[in-house]
Amino acid sequence: MVPLSWYIILSSILFVIGMGGVLLRRNILIVLMSVELILNSVNINMVAFSYFHQNLRGQVFSIFIITIAAAEVAVALGILIALVRNKASLNVDDIQTMKG
């Protein structure tokens, strides 16, 4: 049986990598992937604690987070396609306003 601390360490590593990607990168696609890493690290924590406490709430919340993340990716990619068509750049610094 894998101890709970290993799941917490894995989740912490993924969270730190995700935060580093959000804070340090300028490419919008990498920022979105980093947000997904952060959400996945939260999912790992929820499922691990849910399993160790013999409660299904964490697993149910994890399914909701996966659903919200999928919707977020769909909306974000639609916005990105529109931005690339108008600005021809994926750099965060080049995009200052939301009007087309």
Set out the domains of the chain in order of their start, with CATH numbers: 4-94 (1.10.287.3510)
37: how many CB neighbours lie within 10 A of its CB?
20
Distances (CA, A) of 49 to 10, 20, 58: 13, 25, 7
Residue 65 corresponds to which tokens in the numbers above? 């987070």
pLDDT band at 51; cut points 50, 70, 90 = very high
Q: Which of 1-5, 82-86, 92-96 has the lowest mean pLDDT?
A: 92-96
Express each pLDDT in 53-81 by its tens digit: 999 998 999 999 999 989 988 998 888 88
Single out the residue of 8, 43, 39 nearest to residue 22, CA to CA: 39
| Residue with the two structure tokens 């697993």 | 59
CA distance 79 to 73: 10
